[in-house]
Structure 1
Amino acid sequence: MLRITHVSASCVLLSLLAWTTAIEAQETFADAPNETAKMQAMAARIDALVQARLDREKASAAPLATDGEFIRRAYLDLVGNIPTVAQTRAYLDNDAPDKREQLIAQLLKSPAYPTHLANTWRALVLEPSDDPQRLQNEQGLQRWLRGKFSENVRYDRLVEEFLTATQGSDGPGYFYASQDLKPEMLASETSRIFLGLQLECAQCHDHPFDRWKQHDFWGLAAFFAQLERPANDNIVGLGRFDIVDRNMGEVTIPETDEVVPPAFPGSSANYASFGGTRRQQLAIWMVSRDNPYMPRRAVNWAWAHMMGRGIVHPADDMSPQNLPSHPELLNELTDYFIRSGFDLRLLLQTIAITDTYARSSEAVSDSEAPPELFARMAVKSLTPEQLYDAFLKVGLLKNDVPLMQQDGLRNQFVARLRTASKDRTFFDTGMPQALAVMNGPPVSTATSPETSGLLKALSAPFLTDEQRLNVLFLAAYSRPPNPDELKRYQEFLQQAEPDQQSAALGDVLWVLANSAEFMLNH
């Protein structure tokens, strides 16, 4: 194998590997007529594999979701917020047979898509914090991620750049600083994030239930053993987190003097043959086509993001002992991802146009199929950030508040609504969260006739109660009210005094905004 001994040469090799992978991907996809046909063929294959498992289990799939359910779901999953009334009406009135595909393509071109993905990945990479300084420092990583997703940078290149970051306020430097540059912490987190491996249990002893040994953990940690902050680094308060790769520094097994050399987990590849700094050596192995973990973890994350749970569950525990529910699906989707040139946006788009993703979340029988069969869409709670933004959207609130104050209000709301679980299908909210939604801003602001732009617009005298209720339901639920709902709320509005009509509409909006249907992605 070619031996490269200079850092600059190692960077060249990283670029060469990515370029070679792109050429191979193009050659492999040359048989398909175009990208759309390839995507549609893969989507059909996904549906076939999921249905085959349902047939084997003698389980019934749920019917397709209604148009209102689908547009709301797609908006929340791909751009992080609910659609407007106008957007919902346009979709409901669209009779095109491929309108689902049109919607998904439109959302993925929206500037809100990279912003939402950056929010999602920042939460994946960093532990949540309520500290104002930490929240400010996280914005550098947020901007960096948004830039990469906006450009649709190849996923393998994103991983490589993340692992080899050295300096700058806009980048992953804060991730390294948040882990105090400790090799064991960086090994644990990077293996979880990018490989889907939970190696931390092997830190103090061999893993009791998995293949990983103590030397596997510390061999990975050794790739981060030569990092330090610059000696003259006195600008931490300005949000810069520069990193220097030294040519010295080792790790030892705890409570021993045994030095552990760098080693790739589950691989016998010789790290030294790659050349460059240790982190560059790790990056070369991480993004190589024969890495068995990185692309599968990315595919499993994308599936979990769209479907509520991974093909391997939990999505960041892809141990050989934790078997996938659909092995063939995971293998074929991973191969598709690699051959597409590690195109994360295309991967999300492919999953989003499947019938599997478009299924209703309602149970179809008393003997409900287990969630790992994906017979129906999982019900997911909105993240605190999504819920805050949905309140702003449903109330058509003007952003007259200064930006810094907006961020403060948002951060305060998010902190109160944050829960311990990262599983969006697990609901562990309690009284503090309920009170924050029922009584605090932005809910009160969104449902007050004095501040809600939506309620002010509905005060026009030429509108009927039925038209007003129709708008409220479209704004909150992306669907019109059913006959029973329409009758019940019409009667409520008719009981209000003439000068209390706006307040009564605000009460209706408050009820809708505090309902499970509003606060869940279904």
Structure 2
Amino acid sequence: MKSFQPLIVAFSVAWATWLSAAPEKGRSESARAAALKIDGFVAGWYREEKLEVPEITDDATFLRRAYLVTVGRIPTVEEARFFLELQDPGKRSELVDYLLDSPGYGSHMSNWAFDLLRVTDDKPGFPGNFDAYRAWVREAVDANMHWDELTTRLVASSGNPWSESGAAVGYYLRDRGMPLDNLANTTRIFLGSRMECAQCHDDPFGVTERLDFYQLAAFTNGQQEVSRAPMKKLWDEVTEDEQRNSFERSVAQVIWDDVYGMSFKGGGKGRIRLPDDYQYRGAEPGEMVGARTPFGKTVRLSERDDADDGREKLAEWITSRTGDQFASVIANRMWKHVMGRGIYEPIDEYQPAEKTHLPGLMRYLTRLMIDLDYDLKEFQRVILNTKTFQFVPNPEPPKVAGGDDFHGRQLERMSAEQIWDSLITLVGGNPDGKAHRGVDRRIRIGGKPVSLGGKDLEQLYDEVVQLDSESEFRSYFASMVAEARKEHDGEGGGGAMMMNESPKRYGGNEQVRASELPSPAPRDHLLYLFGQSDREVVEGASREPNVGQVLSLMNGFVQQQLVQNRGAHIYEGLEGTRDPRERIRRLYIAILNRPPGEDEMSWMMDEVKLSGDEAWPNMVSALVMSSEFLFVQ
């Protein structure tokens, strides 16, 4: 072998290097101890239900499952061969630790967070963009920010939206003009409470009254832009006067859209006026009501005076004053993320532990989440170390209505992101070493970046929002126009280099992880065709099949960049041997992450005799389009 074996050797060296530098063993031992407790609950449930305990899956199935669940892609052929050939009784636990410490974990979890939080690059009708917010979410995931802190940083966010410290305000900018919808999403995401119906009427199927909803909305009421008054007259002049210099108009557009259009202030007034169509007893239409929480430990604010910390009070209530609800909801979300199905379903409709079919396990998972200080990575490490995660795949529908029956991981089709990331792994090898997409904070005038002496949007925002009067603004604007003209005419100063520093960006068809591509993907992209969420609703992704998916596999990216691309990484793995049986084995390991069975080897050998060199792309096409490839086993 000339090219394949060195890659396996290189990966084995990387694995050994990681093991020698990995954190102390106590972390894994603690995870395994907690995993044994979970397995104990599941074993007890099997005994009580008089069910046969599933067998433990083989190494190949575990390998593929662990990669897809943890880093969101299949292993490379080198990674697969190394693991399958490794003779080490502890290799499964070591693999889990290796994957959780790898860059791929952040990529896969970012897709989960983007879907949950509806993170998009921009929004129709919104003047700015969410570039900095998206980057903030990604960096929070990469840094393993604990869930309670992330929740607080989002719900209580404030500051400059272009800065690293203030970018989390994108959580509210995403729903500008729809604060009640934003609140409904907040309770659904973090507390598993579906309160959206109570915007208009008492919930006939639940316990939420319309008054409850508005009292909760009072915590976040008062969100607004920074006043545009200092700029308003000048803006009217440059936009209404057709003879006005177009360059000035372009400069004004930057401030109007990227500063005022992205501005956000108001910590939450703590009181709100009921709508004129309010129709229930206990309050009158148009009445001012104070903030009050509907469950958990009561938090309330006065209806007489405006506060400025309502959102901080709301964040504190969500994370620490709702009993077990906050911890239970995220524990159940993580169980589904790993196991394919929640302990209770739907996962965004909270159920107390005693109402689930295995109360002891749900209580333990909730307590475990709290004991781990809401560390989602460590929580997943525990579940991934369970025997329950290692059960053989379950092709049957769950035997328990509305929840996991623990009969092996639920068989399901890969998400759109898992399919894309697995395909580019076959095309180019491990995709996790490529640079993250950057944040473009450059000031653009007429679509072209300018430096303005080394200034970016973060600095521009800070300066503009401090301008209190029209005269101050006109003076600032005149200086900005003059500086921009100098640069436009080639007389720019010390900041000229900055405008050439383009942050890393990726087009829709570049072969990088889905977490680096435009969000959401264009409608003609494989990600969209396979059900990536349009991010309009919480967790809006779909795994339903359609004709477009089949056509995409037969005629689109897969055929062009993988099947017919003899330079693809999967074909590099065939170099060094002319033995057709060995080549078939390598293709199976690369695509399905297991060696072929005897019947499969016989069928493929027949294809080699029939088609010669064309047999290899034919095999690749057939295996990639198979259900085994497209499903998480």
TM-score range for the pair, normalised by the shorter chain length: 0.7 to 0.9
**Structure 2 residue 352 is matched with structure 1 residue 300:** no
Is the contact made by 1:397 and 1:446 (CA closer than 8 Å) also made in structure 2? Answer: no
**Structure 2 residue 78 is matched with structure 1 residue 86:** yes
* Aligned residue pair count: 481
| Counterparts of residues 23-422 of structure 1 (less than 5 Å) | 34-126=26-118, 137-166=129-158, 167-169=160-162, 171-232=167-228, 234=255, 236=257, 241-245=262-266, 248=269, 250-253=272-275, 255=277, 256-272=285-301, 277-288=309-320, 291-319=323-351, 323-362=355-394, 369-370=399-400, 372-396=404-428, 403-404=506-507, 406=510, 407=517, 411=522, 412-418=525-531
Alignment identity in percent? 25
Equivalent position SS for 1:227 = coil
Higher mean C-alpha displacement, 384-393 vs 232-241: 232-241
**Which residue is equivalent to 1:29?**
none
Q: 1:488 aligns with which of 603, 608, 630?
A: 603
Cα 1:279–1:247 change in 2 (3 A) is: closer
- CA distance in 1 between counterparts of 2:189 and 2:360 reads 23
Is the contact made by 1:381 and 1:425 (CA closer than 8 Å) also made in structure 2? Answer: no
Q: Deviation of residue 326 (structure 1)?
A: 2.0
- CA distance in 2 between counterparts of 1:128 and 1:141 reads 9
- CA distance in 2 between counterparts of 1:362 and 1:189 reads 32
Task: Structure 2: state its 5+ residue gaps.
Answer: 1-24, 229-253, 278-284, 435-503, 511-516
Is the contact made by 1:72 and 1:83 (CA closer than 8 Å) also made in structure 2? Answer: yes
Is the contact made by 1:50 and 1:373 (CA closer than 8 Å) also made in structure 2? Answer: no
**Which residue is equivalent to 1:428?**
544
| Paired letter, 1:447 | V
Higher mean C-alpha displacement, 400-409 vs 215-224: 400-409
**Which residue is equivalent to 2:563?**
447
Is the contact made by 1:308 and 1:380 (CA closer than 8 Å) also made in structure 2? Answer: yes
- CA distance in 1 between counterparts of 2:505 and 2:581 reads 36
| Paired letter, 2:348 | D
Q: Deviation of residue 142 (structure 1)?
A: 3.2
| Paired letter, 2:630 | M
Q: Deviation of residue 130 (structure 1)?
A: 9.8
Is the contact made by 2:106 and 2:142 (CA closer than 8 Å) also made in structure 1? Answer: yes
| Paired letter, 1:476 | I
| Paired letter, 2:601 | L
Q: Per-residue CA shift, 1:21-71, capped at 9, x if unaligned?
A: xxxxxxxxxxxx954443222111111111212222222232112111111
Equivalent position SS for 1:215 = helix
- CA distance in 2 between counterparts of 1:231 and 1:490 reads 73
Q: 2:591 aligns with which of 453, 476, 499?
A: 476
Is the contact made by 2:215 and 2:272 (CA closer than 8 Å) also made in structure 1? Answer: no
Is the contact made by 1:196 and 1:316 (CA closer than 8 Å) also made in structure 2? Answer: yes
Q: Deviation of residue 276 (structure 1)?
A: 5.5
Q: Deviation of residue 450 (structure 1)?
A: 3.7
Q: Which runs of 4+ in 1 moved over 6 A?
A: 127-134, 397-402, 419-426
- CA distance in 2 between counterparts of 1:494 and 1:238 reads 67
| Paired letter, 1:454 | I
- CA distance in 2 between counterparts of 1:125 and 1:322 reads 29
**Which residue is equivalent to 1:507?**
618
Q: Deviation of residue 486 (structure 1)?
A: 0.7
Cα 1:425–1:173 change in 2 (3 A) is: closer
Q: Which has the larger radius of gyration?
A: 2
**Which residue is equivalent to 2:280?**
none
- CA distance in 2 between counterparts of 1:431 and 1:122 reads 26
| Paired letter, 1:308 | G
Equivalent position SS for 2:144 = coil
Is the contact made by 2:415 and 2:532 (CA closer than 8 Å) also made in structure 1? Answer: no
Cα 1:236–1:303 change in 2 (3 A) is: farther
Q: Deviation of residue 238 (structure 1)?
A: 8.4
- CA distance in 1 between counterparts of 2:540 and 2:356 reads 19
Task: Structure 1: state its 5+ residue gaps.
Answer: 1-32
| Paired letter, 1:122 | F
Q: Deviation of residue 456 (structure 1)?
A: 4.6
Cα 1:391–1:265 change in 2 (3 A) is: same
- CA distance in 1 between counterparts of 2:373 and 2:353 reads 29
- CA distance in 2 between counterparts of 1:162 and 1:396 reads 36
Q: RMSD across aligned C-alpha pairs, in angstroms?
A: 3.3
Is the contact made by 1:85 and 1:478 (CA closer than 8 Å) also made in structure 2? Answer: yes
Q: Per-residue CA shift, 1:303-329, capped at 9, x if unaligned?
A: 010111111211111155994232211
Output the TM-score relative to the length of structure 1: 0.83
**Which residue is equivalent to 2:451?**
none
Output the TM-score relative to the length of structure 2: 0.69
- CA distance in 1 between counterparts of 2:358 and 2:365 reads 11
Q: Per-residue CA shift, 1:436-481, capped at 9, x if unaligned?
A: 2221114431111444232255255x33111111111111111011
Cα 1:417–1:207 change in 2 (3 A) is: same
Is the contact made by 1:124 and 1:193 (CA closer than 8 Å) also made in structure 2? Answer: yes
